[in-house]
Amino acid sequence: MDRRHFLTATALGATANQLLPGLLHGQRGPDLAESDPQAALQKASRTFPTNFWWGAATAAYQLEGAAAEDGRKPSIWDTFSHTKGKVVNGDTGDVACDHYHRYKDDVELMAELGVKHYRFSISWPRVIPDGRGTVNQKGVDFYKRLCDELRAHGITPHATLYHWDLPQALQDKYKGWQSREIVNDFADYATAMVNGLGDRVTHWMTLNEILTFSVVGYGVGNTAPHAPGLALARKKDQLQIIHHALLAHGHACQAIRAAAKGTCSVAIAENFSPYVPVVETPEHIEAARLAFTRTDFNGAIITPLLTGKYDPYWLAQQGAEAPDVKAGDMELIHQKLDALGFNCYTGTYVRAANTPAGFETLDTFEGYPRMALPWLTLVPESIYWGIRMITDALGQKALPIFISENGCADSGPVSSTREMQDTDRVMYLRQYLRQVQRAVDDGYPVVGYFPWSLMDNFEWAEGYTKRFGLVHVDYATQKRTPKLSYRWFQQVIKSGVVR
């Protein structure tokens, strides 16, 4: 049986139970509390399930550094950040948090925080420097050392295969994601990683945020603010990139399962757009459901991933710009997942309206609260409604969901004493986490939470000017200092309660 046709029937039935013991503790539905006194108590005390995955998240290019060490070759982000005018202050990931050399200290910080799970990404050009072909053993060995250190501290590694650092060689060879050739190369890379790390890693994510690396990386008409920063002629070109990414995900899912020796969990981390009914009445909740399926780009990404079809309303809207789809593509895209990662930062309010689409989205007034980035409005309910719509709009009642990213940039540093007092982040995380807990109470299958990010790091086009960490990094000395939010999160993990 080749890997394209490798079916997952054997592994899947057992997977959820083996990998998520005790997590899916409740039946869905608001009546839970009435029928089960223990659930009522839990509801009253705002607790999370005992085996909830408390974690933290990072990504390779944002924190590793060691850009030219031990055989690593450039990624599109090395090229992009070294191009004048692309990143604030001309910052690059050459050194970043020097995590490549300081990973032991960083694992120590995780252990002290109390997390039992860690989401990181593998740098493709570190392990396969030319994108295809020879595996660089020294690169793989770094991730072995990292995983050994994690496991020695009782922390489960969750590896993402692609967090945007495409080998430059593949960009040069066939224009990266613009070519269908990438589908095979990505699956081969996945196979190589499971062969190299599968004895240490059982929890995999294929891609991080298809929307971002396609739409923010390749603009239509204008150059885009993320690598490779290209301008495409037509929207169709952009949608074709998304289609290639979906295929790469599907093929990699099969590759991971074919190469894995034992049970493993395969997921993807997606920033699908959550819509919040401004008033929680049936008509506005229905408007939120319609918005979820009908607005760019959920119908183009999360819908085909989970249902095997582009959303018909969305597809009709694209007309001649719709992507070219070959026979068998949709089946390949539609792999049964063991879990879904949800990257949630913000959302949009909607209400029912007499429009062709059946809803209208609401603008945010000038005084609407936002965090230290223009796009980061504070919409805590977005995390609850995002989780809920995976069931309500896409019918995935039993798909375990974990929050693979959630967080904000803080407004520090102001001074050396004030910079650690990130009360804005404490406020933000508390509001969002309470909404995650609400989803737990309502019986939705939420199994984990990975705040973005463990520590301050290279924030893409913003360089080092925006800080998302629970831990402060002084880039001149590489000194790490836990912020107030780290202490707050430590207490949440310890108590299993958010108030």
**Contact string 277-316 vs ligand GBH (x = CB under 6 A):** ----------------------------------------
Tell which one of 16, 39, 56, 59 touches ligand GBH (CB under 6 A).
59
Which CB atom, from 286 or from 296, has the smaller least distance to ligand GBH? 296
Q: Is 270 part of the annotated catalytic residue set?
A: no
Q: How far apart are CA 169 and CA 475, in angstroms?
A: 29
* Interface with ligand GBH, residue 338, by CB under 6 A: no
Amino acid present at 147: C
Say which residues have a Cβ less than 8 Å from residue 404's Cβ, sequence separation at least 6: 57, 119, 205, 208, 267, 269, 341, 342, 343, 450
Q: Site for ligand GBH (CB under 6 A): which residue of 198, 225, 358, 463?
A: 225
Contact with ligand GBH (CB under 6 A) among 83, 212, 318, 481: 212
DSSP annotation string for 266-327:
EEEEE-PPPEEESS-SHHHHHHHHHHHHHSTTGGGTHHHHHHSS--HHHHHHHGGGSPP--T
Among 64, 311, 405, 442, binds ligand GBH (CB under 6 A): 405
Nearer to ligand GBH, 338 or 459 (CB): 459
Q: How far is the CB of 212 from ligand GBH (least distance, A)?
A: 4
The verdict on 463 binding ligand GBH (CB under 6 A) reads: no
Q: Which of 209, 381, 459, 462 is catalytic?
A: 209
Q: Give the count of residues interacting with ligand GBH (CB under 6 A).
A: 14
Judged by CB under 6 A, the stretch of 33-41, 152-160, 209-217, 313-321 that binds ligand GBH is 209-217
Q: Tokens for 98?
A: 């020097």
Catalytic entry in 64, 270, 381, 405: 405
Q: Is 160 helix (H, G, I), strand (E, B) or coil?
A: strand
Write down the least CB distance from residue 404 to ligand GBH, Å: 8
Query: For ligand GBH, which stretch binds (CB under 6 A), given 129-137, 206-214, 240-248, 411-419?
Result: 206-214
Among 155, 459, 485, 489, indicate the residue that binds ligand GBH (CB under 6 A).
459
Q: At closest approach, how far in Å is the CB of 88 from ligand GBH?
A: 11
- Positive/negative CA dihedral, 282, 286, 287, 292: positive
Q: Considering the complex, what minimum distance in angstroms separates the CB of residue 186 from ligand GBH? A: 18
The least CB distance from residue 353 to ligand GBH, in Å, is: 26
Does 468 bind ligand GBH (CB under 6 A)? Our answer is: yes
Tokens of 104: 């032991």
Rounded to 5, what percent of the chain is helix, strand, coil?
45, 15, 40
Q: Which residue has the tokens 């070294």?
A: 82
Nearer to ligand GBH, 162 or 292 (CB): 162
Out of 271, 382, 396, 437, name the contact with ligand GBH by CB under 6 A: 271
Give the distance, in angstroms, between the CA of residue 76 and the centroid of all CA atoms in the same chain.
19
- Residues 353-382 as x/- pattern, contact with ligand GBH by CB under 6 A: ----------------------x-------
Whole-number minimum distance, CB 148 to ligand GBH, in Å?
25
**DSSP labels for 165-223?**
--BHHHHHHH-GGGSTTHHHHHHHHHHHHHHHHTTT--EEEEEE-HHIIIIITEEESS-
Bridge partners of 350, per DSSP, are: 277, 361
- 405: annotated active-site residue: yes
- Indicate the helix (H) or strand (E) that contains 162: strand 156-162
Provide DSSP, 35-92. Answer: H-HHHHHHHHHTBPPTT-EEEEE--HHHH---TTSTT---BHHHHHHTSTTSSGGG--
Is 452 among the residues that bind ligand GBH (CB under 6 A)? yes
Least distance in Å: CB of 301 to ligand GBH? Answer: 13
Helix (H) or strand (E) holding 423: helix 423-441
Residue 335, token pair as written in the block: 């792999």
Check if the beta carbon of residue 61 is closer than 8 Å to that of residue 450: no
Residue 391 is a binding residue for ligand GBH (CB under 6 A): no
What is the number of the residue whose Cβ is closest to ligand GBH?
Answer: 212
CB of 391 to ligand GBH, least distance (A): 23
Identify residue 1 by its one-letter amino acid code: M
405 three-class SS: strand
| Residues belonging to the chain | 499
The catalytic residues are 209, 405
Residues that bind ligand GBH (CB under 6 A): 59, 208-209, 212, 216, 225, 271, 343, 345, 375, 405, 452, 459, 468
